[in-house]
Protein backbone atom coordinates (compact mmCIF):
# COMPACT_ATOMS: atom_id res chain seq x y z
CA UNK A 1 0.00 0.00 0.00
CA UNK A 2 1.21 3.57 -0.62
CA UNK A 3 3.10 5.28 2.15
CA UNK A 4 2.47 9.05 1.81
CA UNK A 5 5.47 11.13 2.90
CA UNK A 6 4.63 14.82 3.37
CA UNK A 7 7.10 17.71 3.41
CA UNK A 8 8.15 18.16 7.04
CA UNK A 9 8.91 21.39 8.86
CA UNK A 10 12.71 21.37 8.55
CA UNK A 11 13.40 24.89 9.74
CA UNK A 12 11.97 27.22 12.37
CA UNK A 13 9.29 29.44 10.87
CA UNK A 14 9.65 28.07 7.34
CA UNK A 15 6.49 27.46 5.35
CA UNK A 16 7.77 25.94 2.12
CA UNK A 17 10.77 24.46 0.32
CA UNK A 18 11.93 24.16 -3.28
CA UNK A 19 12.60 20.79 -4.87
CA UNK A 20 16.21 21.11 -6.05
CA UNK A 21 16.96 17.60 -7.30
CA UNK A 22 15.24 14.23 -7.14
CA UNK A 23 17.59 11.31 -6.48
CA UNK A 24 14.90 8.73 -7.35
CA UNK A 25 12.28 8.23 -10.06
CA UNK A 26 8.89 6.50 -10.27
CA UNK A 27 9.44 2.74 -10.21
CA UNK A 28 12.76 2.85 -8.33
CA UNK A 29 13.34 0.57 -5.37
CA UNK A 30 14.49 2.51 -2.32
CA UNK A 31 15.84 1.53 1.09
CA UNK A 32 14.80 3.02 4.37
CA UNK A 33 16.93 6.13 5.08
CA UNK A 34 18.11 6.37 1.45
CA UNK A 35 18.30 10.00 0.30
CA UNK A 36 15.23 10.78 -1.82
CA UNK A 37 15.51 14.44 -2.69
CA UNK A 38 17.43 17.64 -2.08
CA UNK A 39 15.28 20.58 -0.97
CA UNK A 40 16.17 24.24 -0.52
CA UNK A 41 14.73 26.26 2.35
CA UNK A 42 15.75 29.92 2.53
CA UNK A 43 19.22 29.24 1.08
CA UNK A 44 20.04 26.07 3.09
CA UNK A 45 19.78 22.76 1.23
CA UNK A 46 19.05 19.41 2.85
CA UNK A 47 18.78 15.79 1.74
CA UNK A 48 15.56 14.12 2.91
CA UNK A 49 15.81 10.37 3.65
CA UNK A 50 13.10 7.83 2.96
CA UNK A 51 11.02 6.84 6.02
CA UNK A 52 10.36 3.36 4.55
CA UNK A 53 11.72 0.84 2.08
CA UNK A 54 9.72 0.10 -1.04
CA UNK A 55 8.90 1.18 -4.60
CA UNK A 56 8.40 4.80 -5.62
CA UNK A 57 4.82 5.28 -6.84
CA UNK A 58 4.67 9.05 -7.37
CA UNK A 59 6.67 12.23 -6.86
CA UNK A 60 4.82 15.16 -5.34
CA UNK A 61 6.40 17.88 -7.49
CA UNK A 62 8.92 18.45 -10.25
CA UNK A 63 12.35 19.97 -9.70
CA UNK A 64 12.12 23.73 -9.29
CA UNK A 65 8.62 23.63 -7.77
CA UNK A 66 8.03 24.90 -4.23
CA UNK A 67 5.97 22.76 -1.85
CA UNK A 68 4.37 23.98 1.36
CA UNK A 69 4.96 22.13 4.61
CA UNK A 70 2.44 19.29 4.83
CA UNK A 71 1.99 18.81 1.08
CA UNK A 72 2.71 15.40 -0.44
CA UNK A 73 6.40 14.96 -1.23
CA UNK A 74 6.45 11.34 -2.41
CA UNK A 75 4.40 8.14 -2.31
CA UNK A 76 6.16 4.80 -1.74
CA UNK A 77 4.65 1.30 -1.82
CA UNK A 78 6.14 -0.29 1.28
CA UNK A 79 4.60 -3.72 0.57
CA UNK A 80 2.26 -3.74 3.57
CA UNK A 81 -1.37 -4.78 3.38
CA UNK A 82 -2.63 -2.16 5.78
CA UNK A 83 -4.34 1.00 4.59
CA UNK A 84 -2.22 3.87 3.34
CA UNK A 85 -0.04 5.44 5.99
CA UNK A 86 1.31 8.96 6.12
CA UNK A 87 4.54 10.45 7.40
CA UNK A 88 5.35 14.12 7.73
CA UNK A 89 7.89 14.34 10.52
CA UNK A 90 9.85 11.08 10.73
CA UNK A 91 13.22 12.73 10.12
CA UNK A 92 16.01 13.01 12.64
CA UNK A 93 16.53 16.69 13.44
CA UNK A 94 19.70 17.46 15.37
CA UNK A 95 19.38 20.17 18.01
CA UNK A 96 18.34 23.63 16.84
CA UNK A 97 20.41 23.44 13.67
CA UNK A 98 17.57 21.67 11.83
CA UNK A 99 20.07 19.42 10.07
CA UNK A 100 18.37 16.58 8.25
CA UNK A 101 20.44 13.56 9.31
CA UNK A 102 20.07 10.24 7.50
CA UNK A 103 20.68 7.37 9.89
CA UNK A 104 22.73 5.45 7.37
CA UNK A 105 24.90 6.28 4.39
CA UNK A 106 23.01 6.92 1.18
CA UNK A 107 23.60 5.14 -2.07
CA UNK A 108 24.06 8.44 -3.93
CA UNK A 109 27.13 10.55 -3.06
CA UNK A 110 26.17 13.61 -1.03
CA UNK A 111 27.06 16.88 -2.74
CA UNK A 112 25.51 20.26 -3.45
CA UNK A 113 24.18 20.85 -6.99
CA UNK A 114 27.02 23.31 -7.69
CA UNK A 115 29.53 20.64 -6.67
CA UNK A 116 27.83 18.10 -8.94
CA UNK A 117 28.05 20.54 -11.87
CA UNK A 118 31.72 21.20 -11.11
CA UNK A 119 32.50 17.48 -11.10
CA UNK A 120 30.64 17.05 -14.39
CA UNK A 121 32.61 19.92 -15.97
CA UNK A 122 35.90 18.36 -14.81
CA UNK A 123 34.93 14.86 -15.94
CA UNK A 124 34.92 13.38 -12.43
CA UNK A 125 32.60 10.73 -10.97
CA UNK A 126 31.48 11.73 -7.49
CA UNK A 127 31.29 8.06 -6.53
CA UNK A 128 35.09 7.92 -6.84
CA UNK A 129 35.69 10.81 -4.43
CA UNK A 130 35.99 10.89 -0.66
CA UNK A 131 33.90 13.61 0.96
CA UNK A 132 35.47 15.67 3.73
CA UNK A 133 32.34 17.68 4.52
CA UNK A 134 29.83 16.95 7.31
CA UNK A 135 28.45 13.43 7.05
CA UNK A 136 30.84 12.60 4.23
CA UNK A 137 29.42 15.30 1.93
CA UNK A 138 31.65 15.96 -1.08
CA UNK A 139 32.71 19.62 -1.23
CA UNK A 140 33.98 21.76 -4.10
CA UNK A 141 37.45 21.55 -2.54
CA UNK A 142 37.28 17.74 -2.69
CA UNK A 143 36.50 17.96 -6.41
CA UNK A 144 39.29 20.46 -7.09
CA UNK A 145 41.82 18.29 -5.24
CA UNK A 146 40.90 15.31 -7.40
CA UNK A 147 41.02 17.21 -10.68
CA UNK A 148 44.05 17.55 -12.93
CA UNK A 149 45.45 21.06 -12.48
CA UNK A 150 44.73 23.35 -15.39
CA UNK A 151 45.77 26.93 -16.15
CA UNK A 152 43.70 29.52 -14.30
CA UNK A 153 41.26 31.57 -16.33
CA UNK A 154 40.67 34.03 -13.50
CA UNK A 155 40.83 37.75 -14.00
CA UNK A 156 43.68 39.27 -12.03
CA UNK A 157 43.31 42.74 -10.46
CA UNK A 158 45.80 45.32 -11.66
CA UNK A 159 48.89 45.97 -9.57
CA UNK A 160 47.47 49.29 -8.39
CA UNK A 161 44.39 47.68 -6.88
CA UNK A 162 44.54 45.29 -3.95
CA UNK A 163 41.22 43.58 -3.27
CA UNK A 164 40.37 43.49 0.40
CA UNK A 165 40.78 39.70 0.31
CA UNK A 166 43.96 38.13 -1.07
CA UNK A 167 44.50 34.75 -2.70
CA UNK A 168 45.15 32.92 0.57
CA UNK A 169 41.78 34.07 1.89
CA UNK A 170 39.95 31.54 -0.30
CA UNK A 171 37.98 34.24 -2.06
CA UNK A 172 36.30 33.13 -5.31
CA UNK A 173 37.95 34.35 -8.48
CA UNK A 174 36.06 35.78 -11.45
CA UNK A 175 35.44 32.72 -13.62
CA UNK A 176 34.71 32.36 -17.32
CA UNK A 177 31.14 31.22 -16.57
CA UNK A 178 30.19 34.30 -14.54
CA UNK A 179 27.13 36.08 -15.93
CA UNK A 180 26.35 33.43 -18.55
CA UNK A 181 22.90 32.07 -19.51
CA UNK A 182 21.55 30.79 -22.82
CA UNK A 183 19.16 33.01 -24.76
CA UNK A 184 15.56 32.50 -23.67
CA UNK A 185 13.33 32.46 -20.58
CA UNK A 186 14.62 30.91 -17.36
CA UNK A 187 12.63 30.12 -14.22
CA UNK A 188 13.76 32.19 -11.26
CA UNK A 189 14.59 29.43 -8.79
CA UNK A 190 17.14 28.20 -6.28
CA UNK A 191 19.28 30.64 -4.33
CA UNK A 192 18.81 33.27 -7.07
CA UNK A 193 15.05 33.07 -6.57
CA UNK A 194 15.40 33.47 -2.81
CA UNK A 195 17.76 36.43 -3.19
CA UNK A 196 15.32 38.04 -5.62
CA UNK A 197 12.38 37.69 -3.23
CA UNK A 198 14.36 38.95 -0.23
CA UNK A 199 15.79 41.95 -2.08
CA UNK A 200 12.39 42.90 -3.51
CA UNK A 201 10.90 42.77 -0.01
CA UNK A 202 13.75 44.80 1.48
CA UNK A 203 13.65 47.46 -1.23
CA UNK A 204 9.86 47.79 -1.04
CA UNK A 205 9.67 48.01 2.76
CA UNK A 206 12.88 49.76 3.88
CA UNK A 207 13.56 53.44 3.11
CA UNK A 208 17.35 53.37 2.64
CA UNK A 209 19.87 56.10 3.38
CA UNK A 210 23.60 55.70 2.69
CA UNK A 211 26.64 57.44 4.10
CA UNK A 212 30.10 57.00 2.55
CA UNK A 213 33.73 57.60 3.46
CA UNK A 214 37.20 56.62 2.27
CA UNK A 215 39.90 56.21 4.90
CA UNK A 216 43.67 56.08 4.86
CA UNK A 217 44.36 52.35 5.29
CA UNK A 218 48.13 52.63 5.76
CA UNK A 219 48.07 51.65 9.43
CA UNK A 220 45.42 49.00 8.80
CA UNK A 221 47.59 47.25 6.21
CA UNK A 222 50.66 47.51 8.45
CA UNK A 223 48.63 46.19 11.39
CA UNK A 224 47.43 43.20 9.35
CA UNK A 225 50.94 42.36 8.14
CA UNK A 226 52.39 42.50 11.65
CA UNK A 227 49.62 40.57 13.38
CA UNK A 228 49.71 37.76 10.81
CA UNK A 229 53.30 37.01 11.87
CA UNK A 230 52.24 36.32 15.47
CA UNK A 231 52.45 32.76 16.75
CA UNK A 232 48.76 32.48 17.62
CA UNK A 233 45.95 30.30 16.22
CA UNK A 234 44.03 32.23 13.60
CA UNK A 235 46.74 34.87 13.08
CA UNK A 236 47.45 33.89 9.47
CA UNK A 237 43.73 34.06 8.67
CA UNK A 238 43.36 37.71 9.67
CA UNK A 239 42.35 39.86 6.71
CA UNK A 240 41.04 43.42 6.37
CA UNK A 241 37.55 41.88 6.39
CA UNK A 242 38.29 40.38 9.82
CA UNK A 243 39.39 43.76 11.12
CA UNK A 244 36.29 45.46 9.67
CA UNK A 245 34.03 42.83 11.30
CA UNK A 246 35.58 43.38 14.74
CA UNK A 247 35.32 47.17 14.33
CA UNK A 248 31.66 46.84 13.31
CA UNK A 249 30.88 44.64 16.32
CA UNK A 250 32.50 47.20 18.65
CA UNK A 251 30.45 50.02 17.12
CA UNK A 252 27.23 47.97 17.37
CA UNK A 253 27.87 47.46 21.07
CA UNK A 254 28.19 51.25 21.49
CA UNK A 255 25.10 52.00 19.39
CA UNK A 256 22.59 49.15 19.91
CA UNK A 257 19.88 50.88 17.83
CA UNK A 258 21.97 50.20 14.70
CA UNK A 259 21.88 46.52 15.69
CA UNK A 260 18.07 46.65 15.83
CA UNK A 261 15.32 46.57 13.24
CA UNK A 262 11.73 47.59 12.57
CA UNK A 263 9.09 44.89 12.90
CA UNK A 264 5.46 44.55 11.83
CA UNK A 265 3.32 45.20 8.76
CA UNK A 266 2.69 48.07 8.93
CA UNK A 267 5.81 48.86 10.96
CA UNK A 268 4.76 49.15 14.60
CA UNK A 269 7.73 48.25 16.81
CA UNK A 270 11.49 48.55 17.25
CA UNK A 271 13.35 45.35 18.14
CA UNK A 272 16.74 45.59 19.87
CA UNK A 273 18.27 42.07 19.91
CA UNK A 274 20.10 40.72 22.95
CA UNK A 275 23.09 39.66 20.84
CA UNK A 276 25.26 40.98 18.00
CA UNK A 277 25.22 38.47 15.15
CA UNK A 278 27.11 39.48 12.01
CA UNK A 279 26.06 38.27 8.57
CA UNK A 280 29.04 37.94 6.20
CA UNK A 281 27.88 38.22 2.57
CA UNK A 282 29.62 35.45 0.63
CA UNK A 283 29.70 34.87 -3.13
CA UNK A 284 29.30 31.17 -4.00
CA UNK A 285 28.71 29.12 -7.14
CA UNK A 286 25.05 28.86 -6.13
CA UNK A 287 24.61 32.60 -5.53
CA UNK A 288 24.97 35.05 -2.66
CA UNK A 289 24.76 33.46 0.81
CA UNK A 290 25.06 35.23 4.17
CA UNK A 291 26.37 32.92 6.93
CA UNK A 292 26.11 34.30 10.45
CA UNK A 293 28.88 34.89 13.03
CA UNK A 294 27.06 34.68 16.36
CA UNK A 295 27.89 36.89 19.35
CA UNK A 296 30.48 38.65 17.24
CA UNK A 297 31.17 41.25 19.93
CA UNK A 298 32.62 38.51 22.17
CA UNK A 299 35.23 37.46 19.60
CA UNK A 300 38.75 38.84 19.39
CA UNK A 301 40.55 39.28 16.07
CA UNK A 302 41.92 35.74 16.05
CA UNK A 303 38.62 34.04 16.89
CA UNK A 304 36.81 36.24 14.37
CA UNK A 305 39.31 35.26 11.66
CA UNK A 306 38.72 31.55 12.33
CA UNK A 307 34.94 31.97 12.39
CA UNK A 308 34.80 33.90 9.13
CA UNK A 309 37.18 31.53 7.33
CA UNK A 310 35.26 28.46 8.50
CA UNK A 311 31.73 29.72 7.81
CA UNK A 312 32.50 31.21 4.39
CA UNK A 313 34.27 28.01 3.33
CA UNK A 314 31.19 26.03 4.40
CA UNK A 315 28.98 28.42 2.43
CA UNK A 316 30.98 27.82 -0.74
CA UNK A 317 30.98 24.04 -0.30
CA UNK A 318 27.21 23.95 0.33
CA UNK A 319 27.55 22.58 3.85
CA UNK A 320 25.59 25.22 5.80
CA UNK A 321 22.37 24.47 7.65
CA UNK A 322 19.32 26.71 7.92
CA UNK A 323 20.49 27.84 11.37
CA UNK A 324 23.84 28.96 9.91
CA UNK A 325 22.03 31.38 7.59
CA UNK A 326 19.44 32.93 9.90
CA UNK A 327 19.47 35.32 12.83
CA UNK A 328 21.88 38.01 11.57
CA UNK A 329 21.32 41.42 13.19
CA UNK A 330 23.76 43.35 10.93
CA UNK A 331 25.52 42.46 7.67
CA UNK A 332 28.98 43.19 6.29
CA UNK A 333 29.28 42.91 2.50
CA UNK A 334 32.68 42.92 0.80
CA UNK A 335 32.24 43.92 -2.83
CA UNK A 336 35.90 45.02 -2.75
CA UNK A 337 36.97 41.38 -3.02
CA UNK A 338 36.52 41.68 -6.78
CA UNK A 339 37.83 45.21 -7.11
CA UNK A 340 34.68 47.29 -6.44
CA UNK A 341 35.05 50.72 -4.85
CA UNK A 342 31.68 52.21 -3.85
CA UNK A 343 28.18 50.70 -3.83
CA UNK A 344 24.84 51.26 -2.13
CA UNK A 345 24.07 47.85 -0.58
CA UNK A 346 20.51 46.77 0.21
CA UNK A 347 19.65 46.01 3.84
CA UNK A 348 18.46 42.39 4.31
CA UNK A 349 14.93 41.91 5.70
CA UNK A 350 14.89 41.81 9.49
CA UNK A 351 17.91 44.12 9.90
CA UNK A 352 18.38 47.86 10.29
CA UNK A 353 21.72 48.49 8.62
CA UNK A 354 24.47 47.06 6.41
CA UNK A 355 28.16 47.93 6.06
CA UNK A 356 29.82 47.73 2.64
CA UNK A 357 33.57 47.78 2.03
CA UNK A 358 35.41 48.35 -1.23
CA UNK A 359 38.84 47.41 -2.52
CA UNK A 360 41.95 48.76 -0.85
CA UNK A 361 44.01 50.54 -3.51
CA UNK A 362 46.49 53.35 -3.80
CA UNK A 363 44.66 56.63 -4.38
CA UNK A 364 45.51 60.31 -3.92
CA UNK A 365 44.85 61.58 -0.40
CA UNK A 366 45.77 64.78 1.44
CA UNK A 367 48.32 64.21 4.25
CA UNK A 368 49.48 67.28 6.22
CA UNK A 369 48.66 69.55 3.32
CA UNK A 370 50.37 67.37 0.74
CA UNK A 371 48.71 65.08 -1.82
CA UNK A 372 50.18 61.60 -1.54
CA UNK A 373 49.42 58.15 -2.93
CA UNK A 374 48.19 56.04 0.00
CA UNK A 375 46.22 52.79 0.31
CA UNK A 376 42.62 53.79 0.97
CA UNK A 377 39.56 51.78 1.99
CA UNK A 378 36.09 52.88 0.82
CA UNK A 379 33.34 52.33 3.42
CA UNK A 380 29.55 52.66 2.97
CA UNK A 381 26.86 52.37 5.63
CA UNK A 382 23.30 51.66 4.51
CA UNK A 383 20.62 52.35 7.13
CA UNK A 384 16.86 52.01 7.57
CA UNK A 385 15.69 55.64 7.84
CA UNK A 386 12.63 54.56 9.85
CA UNK A 387 15.02 53.58 12.64
CA UNK A 388 18.28 55.43 12.01
CA UNK A 389 18.54 59.14 11.26
CA UNK A 390 21.48 60.78 9.53
CA UNK A 391 23.15 61.85 12.78
CA UNK A 392 23.25 58.30 14.18
CA UNK A 393 24.36 56.89 10.81
CA UNK A 394 27.26 59.38 10.68
CA UNK A 395 28.34 58.76 14.29
CA UNK A 396 28.23 54.99 13.80
CA UNK A 397 30.18 55.11 10.55
CA UNK A 398 32.75 57.43 12.14
CA UNK A 399 33.21 54.99 15.03
CA UNK A 400 34.00 52.20 12.56
CA UNK A 401 36.29 54.42 10.48
CA UNK A 402 38.21 55.59 13.57
CA UNK A 403 38.96 51.99 14.58
CA UNK A 404 40.04 51.09 11.04
CA UNK A 405 42.24 54.15 10.76
CA UNK A 406 43.96 53.21 14.04
CA UNK A 407 43.34 49.45 14.42
CA UNK A 408 45.33 49.20 17.67
CA UNK A 409 42.01 50.25 19.24
CA UNK A 410 40.75 46.76 18.49
CA UNK A 411 43.30 45.20 20.82
CA UNK A 412 42.26 47.37 23.75
CA UNK A 413 38.75 46.03 24.30
CA UNK A 414 35.85 48.20 25.35
Active site residues: 385
CB contact set of 166 (below 8 Å; sequence gap of 6+): 239
Pairing between β-strand 72-77 and β-strand 29-30 as defined by DSSP bridges: unpaired
CA dist 345 and 400 (Å) reads: 17
Q: What is the dihedral of CA 139, 145, 147, 149, to 10 degrees?
A: 130
Classify each residue of 151-175 as buried b or exposed e, where b means 16 or more C-beta atoms within 10 Å of its C-beta.
eeeeeeeeeeebbbbeeebebbeee
Burial of 100 per CB tally in 10 Å (0-12, 13-18, 19+):
buried
Amino acid sequence: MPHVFRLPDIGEGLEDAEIVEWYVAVGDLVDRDQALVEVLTDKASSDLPSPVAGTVLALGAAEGVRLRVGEVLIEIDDGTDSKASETSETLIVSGDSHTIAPRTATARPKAAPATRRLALELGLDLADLNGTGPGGRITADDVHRSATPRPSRSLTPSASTQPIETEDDNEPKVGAGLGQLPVGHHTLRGVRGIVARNMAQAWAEIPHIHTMDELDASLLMDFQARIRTMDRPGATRITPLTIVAVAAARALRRFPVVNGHIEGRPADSIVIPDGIHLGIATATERGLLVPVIRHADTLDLFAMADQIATTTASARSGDLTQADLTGATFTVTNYGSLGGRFATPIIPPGQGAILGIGAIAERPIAVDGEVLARPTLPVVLGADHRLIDGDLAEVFRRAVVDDLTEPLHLLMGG
